[in-house]
Amino acid sequence: MSRSDEELLSDLLATAEKLNHLVSRGEANFASNFETQWAIERAVLNIGEYCTHLSDSFKEQHPDVPWKDIVGMRTVLAHSYHRIDETAVWNAASVSVPALVKALKK
């Protein structure tokens, strides 16, 4: 059963809110706490997964969003366990996801 763009967007925004809570603990906590790392990685992965299922027409309405980069991060997190760049994950969580949320709330 496929989900509507509205449902996916709702889930994406809810996950981004939880992610923001984790990010608010700071980069030092992320760097030193494997549980926080895993939670943040999972949230970023889930956001990428929601984006893979958004319709092309929805994505075309938001041309300023780097859809390929978001999905690319999801792919790395899902399939490249041994090559995860924690700096890239932190940047995605603390910079890219908030920018995505801002773009989607316009």
User: Which residues are part of the catalytic machinery?
Assistant: 74, 79
Reference 17, options 88, 106, 98; nearest CA is 98
List C-alpha distances in Å: 60 to 5, 44, 47, 54, 73. 13, 22, 18, 10, 20
CB 62 within 8 A of CB 105: no
DSSP conformational letter for 93:
I
